[in-house]
Chains A and B, each alone.
Chain A
């Protein structure tokens, strides 16, 4: 289901977004990127990122202080 996993645990704003964008650039339309992060600000930020870029936020979850996002590449 997930095509690529990006680990941004321990990184702070804006690195998770920047690294996600770099990953998305290397992926094909329709593929799914999973991003793991420990930055609590990433929850709101990936929502905003997807609203602006048009990539689709399929899932946003948290377990044991790790936030996971699944983004479907549309750009």
Chain B
């Protein structure tokens, strides 16, 4: 959290939990916290998986025509029929993770750790916990579980509000 009592603030709703979509909220949260903002993140639906102790993040080219990987000097997409084949999702995930490491991009684990160190408030959605049958012990320690009203209260006092 920020050094000043009258700091600006940002709240994010995190709704997606794939490897690629995990980046925008964690990058923005850690950067804003580094810039002195008070940040809170509300994890709901598929985004809630990003609060699990063991994140098993994957990316798929299935239904994602914009996912074109740099390969042999070109950018190569993948037809859905190929992306749907067994093992291709794991292959795409491996390629993405490899690229992330090679380009000096932080891992999601590292960004989440940074967010916690910077006192970003991470809130788990109670309804999603029930809906997907997540257990409190599956989630990282110290995460409050709350509902939409908690988000709305945070949003009301935030200078920046994003739905990701």
Contacts and interface: CB of A to CB of B under 8 A. Distances in A.
A13 B105 CA distance: 7
B104 A14 contact: no
Interface residues of A, number: 15
B30 A52 contact: no
Interface stretch (B31-39, B51-59, B70-78, B84-92): B31-39
A31 to B, nearest CB: 16
B135 interface: no
A17 B34 contact: yes
B104 A11 contact: yes
A7 to B, nearest CB: 12
Contact of B104 (A12, A17, A53): A12
Given A18-B30, A75-B3, A10 B104 contact: yes
Interface in B23-64: 27, 30-31, 34-36
Contacts of A52: 35-36
Contact of B36 (A13, A14, A20, A53): A53
Interface of B: 3, 27, 30-31, 34-36, 103-106, 114
Given A12-B103, A12-B104, A52-B36, 12 more contacts: A11-B104, A11-B106, A12-B105, A12-B106, A14-B34, A17-B34, A18-B31, A18-B34, A18-B114, A20-B34, A21-B34, A75-B36
12 contacts: A10-B104, A12-B106, A14-B30, A15-B106, A17-B34, A18-B30, A18-B31, A18-B106, A18-B114, A21-B35, A39-B104, A75-B36
